[in-house]
């Protein structure tokens, strides 16, 4: 499942849409100097520039207090020239991540982490949903993977991937099972999956003997090693699965492309050019 090709097409379409729509501005906030987070921010800024979105780079030292970060978010909320805000996670341990996400203007929350956006998704409205879950759904659609009636297993329950993706699959009429670090006998669940999504950040967690013949397997994991970047799914799964996303080149490019879509969507919401769609 080639995420790069689909992401490239999405970005080309976005260029035209943004040129027609007008200015779109996305602010990113990075606290500290985590190397992986710095790479992600750089890639997001490069992609934004490529499609005509103006990226605003806000960086704070690692010892920034929670109140200082909240103050910056409130300033960005109040800035009418800013359409979208992304606070890069993870945040340093002295900061309550949940409080920061609650502070975001929900109509600028391009990661879909504000309780309003999470609640809308729960109720079946796709207001602003995280880019990775949306990217996974777009990949399933691109490859015409049947979702309605399928057994979908999501390994991982994070607020940014596992939980929202489970809701999207449920709204698409899949029968959804959520597994996590406390799940007993993980293979008993994964072997039932027509659609298996793995998003835990554990190198090689899913092996070939844990996958149903002919399943569609989406590997969201990104594990950096001395040998390169690898996912949560062992390479041997390619012999069993009918569809498999590579790492890199699968979900990663889709996440960035769908983040840019969310920035444009946020701008449209704020200008009254879009209503909340039912999923």
C-alpha dihedral, 89 to 92 to 98 to 99, nearest 10°: -120
Which residue in the block uniquely carries the two structure tokens 């390994």? 155
Tokens (6 digits) for 24: 């779109």
Sequence-distant (≥ 6) Cβ neighbours of residue 13 within 8 angstroms: none
Residue 44 falls in the annotated catalytic set = yes
Which one from 83, 88, 120, 232 is the annotated catalytic residue?
A: 88
Which one from 111, 194, 219, 232 is the annotated catalytic residue?
A: 111
CA end-to-end span of the chain: 24
Rg (CA), the chain: 18
Hey, how many other C-beta atoms are within 10 angstroms of the C-beta on 203?
Answer: 15
DSSP one-letter string for 190-242: HTT-SEEEE-S--TT-B-GGGS-TT-EEEE---EEETTEEE-SB-GGGGGT-S
Tokens (6 digits) for 103: 């502070």
Catalytic machinery residues? 44, 88, 111
């Amino acid at each position: 499942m080639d995420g790069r090709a689909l992401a490239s097409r999405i970005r080309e379409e976005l260029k035209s849409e943004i040129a027609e729509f007008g200015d779109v501005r996305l602010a990113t906030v990075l606290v500290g100097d985590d190397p992986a987070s710095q790479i992600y921010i750089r890639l997001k800024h490069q992609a934004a520039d490529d499609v005509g979105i103006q990226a605003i780079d806000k960086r704070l030292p690692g010892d920034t207090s929670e109140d200082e970060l909240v103050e910056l978010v409130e300033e960005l909320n109040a800035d009418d020239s800013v359409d979208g805000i992304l606070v890069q996670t993870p945040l340093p341990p002295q900061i309550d991540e949940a409080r920061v996400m609650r502070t975001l203007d929900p109509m600028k929350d391009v990661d879909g982490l504000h309780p309003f956006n999470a609640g809308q998704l729960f109720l079946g409205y796709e207001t602003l949903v995280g880019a990775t879950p949306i990217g996974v759904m777009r990949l399933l659609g691109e490859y015409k993977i049947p979702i309605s009636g399928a057994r979908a297993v999501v390994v991982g329950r994070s607020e940014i991937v596992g939980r929202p993706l489970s809701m999207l699959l449920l709204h698409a009429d899949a029968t959804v099972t959520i597994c996590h670090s406390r799940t007993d006998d993980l293979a008993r669940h994964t072997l039932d999956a027509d659609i298996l999504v793995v998003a835990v950040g554990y190198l090689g967690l899913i092996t070939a003997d844990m996958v149903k013949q002919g399943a569609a397997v989406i590997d969201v994991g990104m594990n950096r090693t001395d040998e390169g970047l690898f996912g949560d799914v062992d390479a041997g799964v390619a012999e069993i699965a009918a569809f498999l996303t590579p790492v890199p080149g699968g979900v990663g490019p889709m996440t960035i492309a769908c983040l840019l879509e969310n920035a444009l969507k946020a701008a449209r919401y704020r200008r009254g050019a879009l209503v909340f769609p039912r999923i």
